[in-house]
Structure formats: structure tokens, C-alpha cells
Chains A and B, each alone.
Chain A
Amino acid sequence: MAAAALCWALRAAGQVLPSSCPRQVRSYYVDWRMLRDVKRRKMAYEYADERLRINAIRKNSILPKELQEVADKEIAALPRDSCPVRIRNRCVLTSRPRGVKRRWRLSRIVFRHFADHAQMSGVQRAMW
């Protein structure tokens, strides 16, 4: 997520890193699906507070039901990409939607690749 956000920031700002710094920079997302996922995450962040408050009115036994029905309609009127349910935790490097470990945000294949090359700190082949 952090790396995706960084890439988004780079694309948006059009920054150019200093030429003397020889660092690998990811200036594009892996694929369009990843881009859409990034958009959804952004929107969900923007509308999070409102959604929370309207839901607090909806999921209520105290307030009158008419009010809750109005709140239902309101929340349905919000943009579709603003709901957090549509976010998919994809692999950060390959954009694989399945087989992604949440702690590393990597798909199983990438994780295995890095772990075998000893590039994952504190990760070891299990043997017992």
C-alpha cells in the first residue's frame, strides 16, 4: 500500500529524482487493475468519515425508522468506489489478487522468490 501510494504520488506530481542518485524508481503501476484498486482506496479514504457517520445513524435502535431509511438512501447515493468493500489486497509487485500474504503485501510466488534469495529479513525456510 505504501509503495502503491508512492507510485501514485510520483505519477501525479511528475517528479524527477536527482540524476546523481542511482535508485530504481517505479513510475508506473503494474497493470490497470492495480490502478483502479488504487483509485478505490483513495476514494474510500476520502469518504470514510461520512460513511461511518451515516452508518451510525442507520445501525441504530434509538432513532426513528424513517430517519434511518433516509440515511439508507443517502449512503446508496454515494459513489460506488467509496466503499471499502471494493478494495482488494493485491500483490504490490505483481498485482496478483489471490495468494497474497497480508503482512508482506506480496503474492506467494514473489515472497518465495525473495525469501530464497535471502532478501526477506527474518524469514527462513521452515524445517522441523
Chain B
Amino acid sequence: KDKSAASKDSTPEGAAKRQEDGAETPKQQLLDIIGNMKVEVSYRKKLQQLKASESKKQARNKLEGLDSESSVPRGVTEGTQRLNPELVKAASAVASSLPRNKKQTESELLAQLRRHEETTDKQKKGGTINIRNVISEMTVKRQSPEQWGARISGRISLQLDEDGQRARPERSSAQMDSRRSLKVGKRLNIFTKTSTEPEHALKTVSSPTIWDLEFAKQVAAVTAQPPRNGFEEMIQWTKEGILWEFPIDNEVGMEDDAEFHEHIFLDKHLEGFPKEGPIRHFMELVICGLSKNPYLSVKQKVEHIEWFQKYFEEKKELLQEI
């Protein structure tokens, strides 16, 4: 971790130096140097990574070496199950090597190790907000001075080269940025997920107050400019409903979703009527006429029949006298 911090301090300084050199020399050399800068920084990062991995390996090897040296396993190691047994043995070896009270130093070291383990566990679970992670994400921004240089070089190259070439370096740099920022996906746990959908749903239902409507009307009235020409006038008329929409649709108001059989076979609505007699005869004629009517919707036809049903029920007494 210290090594990476130190490298962070060194690389911006190095970048600044290189930039000064680049500004002095002519364009071609500047482009080359900026190109080289990019390569160098990336190589440096790779070196850092290699070094880190090597250091880890070396530490492991050292611990293993220590383990092989100390043959006596301590009782303490069995108690501390969380800690890495290698680390524990390494701590005991270090304590033995120091001149002071061995047991005290060993216990202190083990306590430190335990604390480290706790923090690493927490980090693994994602409980704590590690600022180091946040800052590690900011390594992306280190690239910006180089990328500004690249963009400037891209603009300069525009004047020299054709338009086709201009798109490429910008696109590649943008892609690089997106790749770095989106797919480096360590969760920082800074924000908590809040489900805001039900709140939004409730808000939309209760929100259209009279004041909102008035405000909307005012805004519409203010922004409505008088039509500049006949076309705009016709558009306005169409919006208001004065002018029809062309090509004229004959079925604008009608939305009849019913199938043809619902229009024609209306016998099922005749259940409320007596099965014989003049009324039945009359209603059958009514249904025959309705089935041939293309202008009414099914709803209207059903209402028609129901009206007759009601009417005849009211006149039942009269009919029974007959």
C-alpha cells in the first residue's frame, strides 16, 4: 500500500516534467512524446503490479521459511483459528528474535494481526467504507493530463490529417475511460439503495392540484405564439379539433372492439321476454333490424333491447288485461 502511494506521488511529477519537454519541441516530437508518455505510465502501472505481487510472494516465502525453522507449534496458534497459522508462527519467530519480553511482544503482535484480520473480513463483507478504495478509483484521473494532451494532439492532427483520423484517437480515449470507470467494479457502499418507486406512484396520483393545472394553463398560454403561416394555423386548428385529420378516417370516434358475431347473433339478449306471443314476434323483428345496422355499436344495441325490456315490464299489468 505504501509503495502504491509513493508511486502515485512520483508519476504526476514525472508526467509534468515530460509535458514541459513536449511543449518546447515541435508538433511531431510532441505527439511522439505524448504517445510515449501514455505507454510509459501504463508500463509503470504494470511494474507496480508486478512488484506488489512479487513482494507478496516474497513475504509468503519468508513466512514459510520461518515456519520450517520453528518446529515447535505453540498452544496460542490453536486458540486463534481466524489468523493465518503462518502469520502466527512468523509473529512468534519475530518475538523470539527481539531482545525484550518475548511473550508480551508476541501477544501484542497477535493482537495487531487479529485487528488486521477483522478489518479485512469487514472489507470482504463490504461493511466499512474504505477510503483507500475510493482513492484507488481516482487513479483513473491521473490519466487526464496525458489525455488532455492526446485530445489537443488530436485537434492539432485534425489540421494536418483528414477528418477520418480525428475520430479515432478521441473514440479510443473515450472507450478507455469508459472501460476503466465502468468495469472496475469494486463496491464502495457509500450510498444505500432506496426503493423510490411506490413514493413516485403515490405522488403522481395525488399531485395534479388546481394550482398545478392553472400554472400549466398559464405556461401554455404564454408559450403559444400566433401562427406564422397557414400551415401553423391549420396545425393549431387540428389540435383544437376544428379541423379533421387527413387522410380522413371514417372511424375516428368509434372504437368498436366487438366481433361480428356479437353484432348479428343477438338472441341471447332476448331471455327476459316471454317465449310466445306478439311481443316475442316484435322483439325478433327488432333484433333482425339491429343485426343489419352497421352504425350502432354493440353497447348501443344492447341498450336498445334493454329499454324495450324495461318498457314491457312496466306495461305488464296492461298486457295481462288483454
Q: Chain A: residues with CB nearer than 8 A to chain B?
A: 18, 20-22, 49-50, 53, 56-57, 60, 62-64, 66-67, 70
Contacts and interface: CB of A to CB of B under 8 A. Distances in A.
B224 A18 contact: yes
A20 B224 contact: yes
A63 B278 contact: yes
Interface string B12-50: 000000000000000000000000000000000000000
B319 A21 contact: no
A66 B322 contact: yes
A59 to B, nearest CB: 12
B226 A64 contact: no
Interface string B308-322: 100100010011011
A71 to B, nearest CB: 9
A53 B278 contact: no
B226 A22 contact: yes
B225 interface: yes
Interface residues on B, range: 20 to 34
A56 B286 contact: yes
Contacts of B224: 18, 20-21
B318 A70 contact: yes
Contacts of A21: 224, 226, 236
B281 interface: yes
Interface in B260-286: 278-279, 281-282, 285-286
Contacts of B321: 66
**Which 7 residue pairs are nearest across A and B when measured between Cβ atoms?**
A62-B278, A20-B226, A62-B282, A62-B281, A18-B221, A64-B322, A63-B278
B304 interface: yes
Contacts of B226: 20-22
B148 interface: no
Interface of B: 221, 224-226, 236, 278-279, 281-282, 285-286, 304, 307-308, 311, 315, 318-319, 321-322
Given A64-B319, A67-B322, 18 more contacts: A18-B224, A20-B224, A20-B226, A21-B226, A21-B236, A50-B307, A53-B308, A57-B282, A57-B311, A62-B278, A62-B282, A62-B285, A63-B278, A63-B279, A64-B278, A66-B321, A70-B315, A70-B318
B279 A53 contact: no
17 contacts: A20-B225, A20-B226, A21-B236, A49-B304, A53-B308, A53-B311, A57-B282, A57-B311, A62-B278, A62-B285, A63-B278, A63-B282, A64-B322, A66-B318, A67-B319, A70-B315, A70-B318
Contacts of A57: 282, 311
A67 B312 CA distance: 10
A43 B279 CA distance: 30
B151 to A, nearest CB: 47
Contacts of A64: 278, 319, 322
A34 B307 CA distance: 34
A49 B301 CA distance: 11
A64 B281 CA distance: 12
B282 A60 contact: yes
A70 B226 CA distance: 59
A116 B315 CA distance: 61
Nearest to A52: B304
A85 B264 CA distance: 32
Nearest to A2: B242
A57 B283 CA distance: 10
Nearest to B227: A21
